[in-house]
Structures are given as C-alpha cells and as structure tokens.
Structure 1
Amino acid sequence: MSGYYNGKRAKGNFDPARADSFNVSRSKIDLFLECPRCFYLDRRLGVARPPGFPFSLNSAVDALLKKEFDIHRAKKNSHPLMERYNIKAVPFEHSDIDKWRNNLVGIRFLYKPANLLVFGAVDDVWVNPKGELHVVDYKATSKDTEVNLDAEWQDGYKRQVEVYQWLFRQNGFKVSDTAYFVYANGRRDRRAFDGRLEFDVTVIPYKGDDAWVPETLRNIRKTLVSEDIPEAGEACDYCLYRRDAGEALKEAILKKRAPAAVGATRVGRGNNNNELKTQKLF
C-alpha cells in the first residue's frame, strides 16, 4: 500500500444510530455532487477514493501569495493587484483568519436541519468599504492561453467559493456575491529556466449564488441515512473503472474455473488434497 492510500477506514464513518452531528467538508460536498456513490462509499462505508499526489508547486504559490497578502493585511492597505483591477478592498483582518485558512479547522457551521457540521478552509478574505467580505481563492496553472473560468471542470471552483460564501453568511458576516480568483499562470515563453519560474497573475471576479447549498446538505443527509447505495455519477471515472475491472476479473476467473460459490472460484487444492482453496473476485 502506498503512503497516500490508507485503505478502508474503521473510524470516522457516518453511523445512522448516532445522534451527534456529522462533519462534512467543502470538498466532500463537491464529491457528493460529482458522484453520490463515491460519496457514500467514502463517508458511510469508509472506502475513499485513492488520493492524488500533492501538487507541491501549487502549494508553494499558495503559501507565498498568503504571505504577500498578509503584509498588506498588517498594513491595512490594498495589494497592487487590487489597485490594478480597480478592486476597492483590503485584506480582511480578523483574529480567526489563521483558523479559517487551516485545512483541519476552517470556518464552520452546524446546519441543524441536516445535523451536519459543514466546514471549509478559505485561501483569503477581503473586505470592501461597505463592510462586505469577498471570498478569495488562489489558483496556479501553466497554460499558453489566457486563464478564465469557462471550462466545465471549473464549475467545482465556483461551487467551492459559493460554499465559503454560505459559511461566512451563516456565521453572521455580511458577504458580497462577488468572489475573486487570484490566478497565477506559469509562463512557458522564456528562453530558459535559469532557476526560476515566472508567473502572470490575474484576478478574475465571479458572482456566486449559494442558494443550492441547504438543499444539497439535506440530500446528503438523506443519502447517508439510507441503506440503499446511490447511483454513480454520470461522468465518474472511478465508478466506471470499478465496474469494468470487476467484470474483467470475474470473466477471467470464471473462465479459468467453474465457480465453487457466489463471489469465489476454485483455483487449486490446499495441503490437504480434499481441501479446495478459493479465490475471491474482489
């Protein structure tokens, strides 16, 4: 087993018999929308998708941007990017800013109708002269074309900031519908690397709408308490792989030997000639 995949969990899974609230992160909300079956496998049955390897360069850009904006937070003035894009705001100074940006803590709210404790770690928060908060998310990429939010796969980015907007509103803050993506695009047009990577940094505004969040949380609750395994997402490669791999393994094993039992097939004899060994399909 690799150092990234930990196998089936015995703890931290949803238990319908328990009355206490259940933690659901922003990323798990997005997983539910992408594929209810993968969400159920993860949160109810304890089998999560194998995680991807960490993007170290992206994490470095994220950390440096936070340090840079923190300088202006301490000075209570605008970052040059804000001035370039005519954004009337400054980085928001609050005693909980480090908690909100901590992946293990984040900003939290107990949504009682679904008994779910929702949380998420925001990259940054700005505040405008009206006292409204702007949710800010940092992104890093490297592409030859201009960065935007037009790709279908970027819908997850939009839902991400909408969950954050909802969380801040539930915590009593006045929140603007406009969120900002600070996009760092690594340049490929330099003649040589020379030990450094240069970025073009763009700020993209996005008008969010968090109206979908409460209903989604209620649907998550219904899914978690149900004994019925939900359908797979239409575009879920993980479920498609599990299906195809399962069918291929079953076909190969049953082709080799007639099945000795449901879910197993005889593949040979043990130390005792009268004892048949079985091979599981999964």
Structure 2
Amino acid sequence: MNSNFIYLSPTKLALFQECPLCFWLAEKEKIERPRGPTATLPQSMDKLIKNYFDYYRGRGELPPEIAGKIKGKLIAQEILDDWRKNSKNSKPRYFNKEANAFLFGALDECLIVDDKYYIPVDYKTYGYNLKENSFAHYQLQLDCYTLMLEGEGLTHLNIAYLIYYIPEKIEENNLIRFKIEIREVKTNPEKAKDIFLKAIEILRNPNPPAPSPECKFCHWRKELKEKIERLYF
C-alpha cells in the first residue's frame, strides 16, 4: 500500500470545517479532541432500523411508512452489505489522483431509480420535532456520499434522503411509537470535493494551520497554556 495515500471520511471533513487545527492535530499527530462516553442507544437504533429495511428489501418492497413518499427502490442486499462497511477499501469511495487521496465512508441505505440513478439515504434518531434547518448539520455528509457514488462511476440525481425516527410515546407492552419524517436534500458533490481538497492541502503542509476562532477546544487549550505559564514560569 502506498504510504502517501490519505484517507478521509465525511466525519473527518466535518471536523476540518469545525476547526482546521483540531483536524490537523488528529490526523498528523494523532492528538484527538477529548471525548466523553459514547451514547449506545443511537447505535442500537441504527442497527434495528437497518434490519427493518433489510426485511422489506428481501420482500422487494419499501417499508410501508415511507412507500410512496420517496423515489426509487432499495438497492440489492449484496451491494449494500459492502457499502455499509466503514472500511478504507470498501465501496463506494472517491479517489482524487492529483491529491493521491481517498474519500470513503459507510452508507446506511441507498435507493436506485430506473435502475440507473442512485440516491443515498441516512437514518437519524431524533429526540424532538424537526426545525426548518434540521438537515443543515448533515449537508456535508450527504454531499460526500454523492461524491463517493460519482467516484464509482454511478449516476445520481443530486439528492439524498434523511429519514428521521422521532419517539412520540410509550404504549402498552413496552412498545414505543415513532413519528417518521422524511427530508429530501439537494446535494452538491462539487462542494464536497472542494472541502476534501482543502483538507488534503492542510495535511500535506508540515506546519499546523490556525485554529478556528469559534473552536472551544482550542480556546480552552490556549487559556490552559497561559494559566500554566503564569503559575509556574
């Protein structure tokens, strides 16, 4: 394997957008932001939803609560099984020859329209009703998915779907009722490509970039350094 290859995911590009310095430190120096305990409920819900969709995929149907509300049909299970792997070598992924870099990531789901147009789908578990711009936080992720499909030579419609599962109430026999909200999001793979190349440029530079002025982690790091210097030096 070429050691000069760079592999980035949509999550890493989101960090780059938040703060170039935190991104550079994580990728170049393996110094990551401190993290608290990981919530396991969303992960469990994600697995349950995937199994639910796979059941209807086996029947050649869409789940009834979304049937007629989205375009296309579910792609074949054998294809999606590979696309769900969060591996550098799994598909779909985008390779930029000039940058010698890959963009990779795992898809929750994907639809196909007229047997030729692919639409990425992502499940989200939400604890409250959606706002008008609730999808904005996931725009880059969906742009990246579309770019990754392009990287495999697949055609698309410049759209993606977010399917939100919002708990409404607990019923008898320990059943939880969910409200399902679907958002069709226009995607821009060129924007994802631009962010991807800027992130690569940062990583090719041996010197660290400036932090984002809004980064609370870098602000804390700076304050801590100044406090220690005042106290001990």
TM-score, normalization by structure 2: 0.89
2:182 equivalent to 1:203: yes
Q: Is the 8 A contact 1:82 1:88 kept in 2?
A: no
Compared with structure 1, are the counterparts of its residues 178 and 148 closer, same or farther at alpha carbon in structure 2 (3 Å cutoff)?
A: farther
Instruction: Tell me the CA shift for residue 74 of structure 1.
Output: 1.7
2:43 equivalent to 1:59: yes
Q: Is the 8 A contact 1:82 1:89 kept in 2?
A: no
Q: Kindly provide the amino acid, as one letter, of the partner of residue 178 in structure 1.
A: I
Matches of 1:108 and 1:96, distance apart in 2: 13
Q: Is the 8 A contact 2:95 2:151 kept in 1?
A: no
Instruction: Tell me the CA shift for residue 195 of structure 1.
Output: 3.9
* CA displacement 1:118-141 (0-9 Å, x = unmatched): 101111001123631111011011
Matches of 1:81 and 1:203, distance apart in 2: 10
The structure whose Rg is larger is 1
2:101 equivalent to 1:116: yes
Instruction: Tell me the CA shift for residue 52 of structure 1.
Output: 4.1
Q: Is the 8 A contact 1:36 1:232 kept in 2?
A: yes
For residues 112-191 of structure 1, the aligned pairs below 5 Å read 112-129=97-114, 131-143=116-128, 146-148=129-131, 150-151=133-134, 154-187=135-168
- Give the number of equivalent residue pairs: 230
Matches of 1:30 and 1:140, distance apart in 2: 19
Which of 98, 101, 117 is the matching residue for 2:81?
98
Q: Is the 8 A contact 1:181 1:206 kept in 2?
A: yes
* CA displacement 1:232-271 (0-9 Å, x = unmatched): 1232111111112222222222xxxxx3xxxxxxxxxxxx
Q: Is the 8 A contact 2:54 2:77 kept in 1?
A: no
Query: More deviation in 223-232 or 104-113?
Result: 104-113
Matches of 1:70 and 1:148, distance apart in 2: 29
Task: Identify unmatched segments of 5+ residues in structure 1.
Answer: 1-17, 254-258, 260-282
Compared with structure 1, are the counterparts of its residues 138 and 149 closer, same or farther at alpha carbon in structure 2 (3 Å cutoff)?
A: farther
Compared with structure 1, are the counterparts of its residues 242 and 196 closer, same or farther at alpha carbon in structure 2 (3 Å cutoff)?
A: farther
Instruction: Tell me the CA shift for residue 19 of structure 1.
Output: 5.8
Q: Secondary structure at the match of 1:96?
A: helix
2:227 equivalent to 1:243: no
Greater length-normalized contact order (CA 8 Å, ≥ 6 residues apart)? 2
Instruction: Tell me the CA shift for residue 55 of structure 1.
Output: 2.1
* Structure having the larger proportion of residues in helix: 2
Q: Secondary structure at the match of 2:166?
A: strand
Q: Secondary structure at the match of 1:216?
A: helix
Which portions of structure 1, spanning 4 or more consecutive aligned residues, are displaced by more than 3 angstroms?
A: 192-197
Give me the CA root mean square deviation.
2.2
Task: Identify unmatched segments of 5+ residues in structure 2.
Answer: none
Matches of 1:114 and 1:133, distance apart in 2: 26
Q: Is the 8 A contact 2:143 2:191 kept in 1?
A: no
Q: Secondary structure at the match of 2:67?
A: helix
